[in-house]
Amino acid sequence: MEITDKDFELVDNYLDGTLSDEELALFRIRMQDDEFSGLLRFQQALRKELAQPSLLGRNDLKQAEEFYLEYRSQRRRSIAEAFSSKLWFVVVAVMCFTSLLIALLL
């Protein structure tokens, strides 16, 4: 599912501890989506990074952007690794099916 402005609002309210009962129910449903749970993890990590004294100063925005870019590249790498392992499984399954089909035809 696509991340919307409402999702950002839900995550912010969750991290601030100000979710209503209706928002809490929606939050639990949305947590089943990988993109939404990734957004939550990113926001938690970003808040933790920004809370460190080393990040306070004039370069907060630049450091937050660098942190986001690093997070995004790590996420892309993990997705690529997962995709390649699934692709390998599909290739092996197709090869086994093809060899079984050839054996049955003989």
85-95 burial code (b ≥16 CB/10 A, e <16): eeeeeeeeeee
Tens digit of each residue's pLDDT (9 = 90 or more) over 56-106: 455 566 666 777 778 778 878 877 777 777 777 888 889 999 999 999 988
Where in the chain are the domains? 5-81
Residues with Cβ < 8 Å from 55, sequence gap 6 or more? 49, 63, 64
pTM of the predicted model over 0.75: no
Residue 88: its H or E element: helix 60-105
Mean pLDDT, residues 24-28: 80
Contacts of 46 (CB under 8 A, 6+ apart): 64, 67, 68
Contact predicate 36/1, CB 8 Å: yes
Strand ranges (DSSP E) for the chain?
none
